[in-house]
Each structure stands twice: as structure tokens, then as C-alpha cells.
Amino acid sequence: MTVPAVISLVTLGVRDVTAATRFYQALGFELSPGSVDGAVSFFRTSGARLGLFGQDDLAADAQAEARTSDGFRGVSVSINVESPSAVDAALSAAAAAGATIAKPAHTAEWGGYSGYFADPDGHLWEVAHNPFWPLGRDGLPQLP
Amino acid sequence: MTVPAVISLVTLGVRDVTAATRFYQALGFELSPGSVDGAVSFFRTSGARLGLFGQDDLAADAQAEARTSDGFRGVSVSINVESPSAVDAALSAAAAAGATIAKPAHTAEWGGYSGYFADPDGHLWEVAHNPFWPLGRDGLPQLP
């Protein structure tokens, strides 16, 4: 008996679903018409789908404590791209859309090139080029 | 200028990479040989890939504050499956592997069937059947 090895959806808890939705639309992410205005948004991302939900609603749904922690959440979400220049372009586009550059892109000791941006709720997104993880036809990294 | 609309990788910060790796292997997730024993683990999940990294290392990598917050992290990761019975089976398998059932599966007001488990570090995983999101050939939900 196993658990299906798939990450279908990542849901980020946000203070204001409408404002967060505008941010991700400004990044260029395509909103699904299955979203409910101001209540829950889903984006047609490849890899895992992205969901936005009120942070208190998400806590209630998971029966977690209602208060969302401040500070580092212990999670990051990555966008893997095909080249270092694509990392720079994506971080610039994120900044233009209102993201905070949490860490400018640089060559990492593991041999890749990456940086981080934070969305308006502080969720951390890494943008990375990993030369050891070629992207497949589906645009997703192929792990060794 | 847009940001690529893809979630390639979800990295969970954990207290003990070796212990967390054992947990996800017990779920049946396939470890990539590109992992570094005790330092970083990657799993060949479909949808987004799963990474495990020491929570302080992850914070340092993102130049976030070093202390990981306790309590609700404001993020959940979902496994979408094809039927309510597959939700029950996956939650049972997770519990058998040492997960905490954070919320037993039940019929949700949005018309689906879902429950949550928490990994040993408290990261929340939803297991869901959404009748409005048929799974594609790649096993991933097709959003309207």
C-alpha cells in the first residue's frame, strides 16, 4: 500500500485572495475559470497547479491552528528554467509585477544558478537553472 | 515579460533529512540517486518534484530568517486521486508509514472528498478527489 507519488497542487494561504490573484496574473499565470472571485483561485501552471486561498480558510480546511506563522515557513516552490539568462529574465519579470527579490540570482555552490522572489504574502519562489536536471518535453526537470 | 507558469519542485524544510527521507520512502516515493545522503533528497514525483532540505539550510539558501516558524505554515501540498476510495487508501497508507492524520477524509462542501495528513515535520498534505477536475493521462488534474 503506497501513497501516489504526485504533487498535483500547491495551495498558498494569502491575506487577500483578490490582491494575490492580481499579483500572479501580473506574473503571466493563467487563471482558471473554475476560480471563485475573491474566495479561491486556481492557475493553470504546469507541474503542480497553483491555488490561492485565504490563509484562515486554508487553516480551517486543514483543521490547523488558525493563526498563520510569521517568518520563514519552511517551504519553497521552484520554477526551473532552461538557462541562467532565463533565471534573470524571470526574476526581472517578477520584480516588475511587484515581487520582492529575496535573493538576487547567483551561481550556487551546487553548480546551478538561482535566485528567490517573495510574493506579497511572503511565500518564497526559487527560480533556478540546474544544469544537471535537463528539462523534458513537458518543461519539467528530469531527475537523475 | 512573464514568469514561466510552472511549479517544478516543492522543497520542504525538515529537521532531519535522513529521517524525513525514510518517511517519504515509506510512503512509496522513489528517491532520486541525485540525492546527497543526509543533506538533500529529491523524489521522482510527478507534477512537481519533491525536495527535502534541512530547514536551516533552506532558510539560508533563501536568505530568510533562520528560525522556522512553528504552527501553521500557510501552505499545503495536494495529491489528487481518481476516486474517494483512492483518498481513503492513500490516507491509510500514509498513516501506516507514520504520518499523522490531520483531518480524516470527508465529503467537502465544494463537492469533492478529501483529508489531510502531516509529515513528521508538520508539513500538510491534502489527499483529494475532485470530481470537477478529471485526471489527465499524466495523472494530473485538468482544470476548467
Q: Which of B111, B89, B121 is nearest to B24 (CA)?
A: B121
ipTM here = 0.89
Confidence of residue A68 (pLDDT cuts 50, 70, 90): low
Please check whether residue A33 lies inside any domain of the structure.
yes
Residues B11 and B50 in one domain: yes
Confidence of residue B1 (pLDDT cuts 50, 70, 90): confident
Single residue among A25, A43, A65 that ends a domain in this structure? A65
Distance CA A3, CA A113 (A): 33
Residues A132 and A92 in one domain: yes
* Residue at grid coordinates 514561466: B4
Q: Give the three cell numbers for residue A10.
A: 500547491
Distance (Å) from the alpha carbon of A38 to chain B's nearest alpha carbon: 16
- B103–A63 CB contact, under 8 Å: yes
Q: Give the three cell numbers for residue A59.
A: 487553516
Q: Write out the residue range of the structural domain in which residue A98 sits.
A: 75-144
Interface test with A, best of B2, B9, B110 (most A CBs within 10 A): B9
Please check whether residue A70 lies inside any domain of the structure.
no
Residues B128 and B89 in one domain: yes
Contacts of A112 (CB under 8 A, 6+ apart): A128, A129, A130, A131, A132
Confidence of residue A65 (pLDDT cuts 50, 70, 90): low
Single residue among A43, A65, A87 that ends a domain in this structure? A65
Which chain A residue is nearest to residue B78, measuring alpha carbons? A9
Which residue from A6, A75, A123 is facing B47, i.e. has the nearest CB?
A: A6
Distance (Å) from the alpha carbon of B8 to chain A's nearest alpha carbon: 5
A-B contacts at Cβ under 8 angstroms: 276
Please check whether residue B33 lies inside any domain of the structure.
yes
Q: What's the pLDDT at A70?
A: 65
- A7–B81 CB contact, under 8 Å: no
Residues B87 and B126 in one domain: yes
Q: Which of A141, A138, A137 is nearest to A126 (CA)?
A: A141
Residues B80 and B133 in one domain: yes
Distance CA B65, CA B135 (A): 38
Q: Give the three cell numbers for residue B106.
A: 470527508
Which residues in chain B are closer than 8 Å to A66, comparing Cβ atoms?
72
Which residue from A47, A70, A116 is facing B6, i.e. has the nearest CB?
A: A47
Which residue from B65, B80, B124 is facing A8, i.e. has the nearest CB?
A: B80
Which chain A residue is nearest to residue B91, measuring alpha carbons? A3
B53 pairs with which residues across the strands?
B13, B40
* B26: region left, alpha or beta (phi > 0 left; psi from -120 to 50 alpha): alpha
Please check whether residue B17 lies inside any domain of the structure.
yes
Residues A51 and A95 in one domain: no
- B10–A94 CB contact, under 8 Å: no
Which residues in chain A are closer than 8 Å to B75, comparing Cβ atoms?
10-13, 73, 75, 123
- B3–A79 CB contact, under 8 Å: yes
Q: What is the DSSP code string of B88-116? A: HHHHHHHHHTT-EEEEEEEE-TTS-EEEE
Number of compact structural domains in chain A: 2
- A141–B2 CB contact, under 8 Å: no
Three-state secondary-structure class, residue B28: coil
Residues A35 and A10 in one domain: yes
Residues A96 and A130 in one domain: yes
Please check whether residue B67 lies inside any domain of the structure.
no
Q: Is the pLDDT of residue B64 over 80?
A: no
Q: pLDDT tens across A5-36, in order? A: 999 999 999 999 999 999 999 999 999 999 99
Distance (Å) from the alpha carbon of B21 to chain A's nearest alpha carbon: 14
Q: Give the three cell numbers for residue B38.
A: 543526509
Give chain A's mean pLDDT. Answer: 91
Residues A50 and A79 in one domain: no
Q: pLDDT tens across B68-84, in order? A: 666 778 899 999 999 99
Q: What is the DSSP code string of A4-61? A: --EE-EEEEEES-HHHHHHHHHHHTPPBPTT-BTTTEEEE--EESEEEEEEHHHHHHH
Distance (Å) from the alpha carbon of B1 to chain A's nearest alpha carbon: 6
Cα A11 → chain centroid: 9
Please check whether residue A86 lies inside any domain of the structure.
yes
Distance CA A116, CA A105 (A): 7
Single residue among A65, A94, A117 that ends a domain in this structure? A65
Residues A79 and A118 in one domain: yes
- Distances from the Cα of A4 to the Cαs of A28, A76, B93, B116, B125, in angstroms? 30, 21, 10, 14, 12
CB–CB of A92/A100 below 8 Å?
Answer: no
Residues B56 and B92 in one domain: no
Residues A96 and A57 in one domain: no
Distance CA A64, CA A62 (A): 5
- The CATH number assigned to the domain holding B100 equals 3.10.180.10
Cα B115 → chain centroid: 13
Please check whether residue B85 lies inside any domain of the structure.
yes
